[in-house]
Homo-oligomer: A and B are copies of this chain.
């Protein structure tokens, strides 16, 4: 067990936004909220999955909706707590551990808020190892862990509890409620035992996020670019460098969808990168050739500072580096690819691991 305090939040927010591949909500909004909670309630205990007893009762806490809207509607801790408490009442047992659903800008912070408010330990793990746009897209789904009962709460005082036949139906009903609740909702879901948690979650991702944030911070302190060390830490590849030439985005059915075009500079001069996103960056094509797709991570960093840029912050004129990094091995299985492979998102290409694509291009 270790403690996560106010001074850790900056690194965590930056690293989580890197792993968030452009989505998961705004890291600054989440950090503000988490700081407020830690100031009020003290630091949060973080435990490794291996430290969680098999008979523990853990649940995920997250914000659902279009990140574009999340920026405008800062959630209050009490909405998150309402969803969490509603789930707990339904289960009829005290929840013992809080689990992040995803590592992304805002959603690495929402479970921290709940942990701070409730005094429960936060598990150093998540269900994606990155951020994804839909509820069922977590490794526990691969193992047959049900998303429901799921509790949702909005900023007006409305709440809902759903119980579905599978996790795709959870996504459908939760999304319909979220859209109606004003495009964002706070949720508590995926109740699971300690034993399930150990076998189904991706371990160590909070620590990884903090390390990535630290790499960016220390490189900046030395007036160096952190891009190289981020690439190395993630065993990734630098895909492209350039200047954002165009961004199109729209909020559709509770998602921020869009596309960005980046004109190459430096080693990428003369080439163009097309980036497509649905909350997160999901597909990158260089001059018509696919260079990286979900579930691998497509990470957009500011070329100078190494700070991650979310899909909603991406603007014309930004100078960026685009990195591809391997996802967790479970996403590369047939069951994983069925949930989060390129075809699920509507891209008619086979999944090829980003490092293989890079090796082919280099050959």
Contacts and interface: CB of A to CB of B under 8 A. Distances in A.
A158 B176 contact: no
Interface of A: 86, 156-165, 169, 172-173, 175-177, 179-181
A254 to B, nearest CB: 11
A164 B82 CA distance: 13
Q: How many copies does the complex hold?
A: 2
Contact of A176 (B156, B163, B165, B176): B176
B161 A157 contact: no
A175 B180 CA distance: 9
B163 A173 contact: no
A174 to B, nearest CB: 10
Contacts of A176: 176-177, 179-180
A181 B177 contact: no
A292 to B, nearest CB: 33
Nearest to A181: B173
A179 B176 CA distance: 9
Nearest to A157: B165
A161 B164 contact: no
Contacts of A159: 162-164
A181 B164 CA distance: 11
Nearest to A151: B161
A276 to B, nearest CB: 26
A176 to B, nearest CB: 4
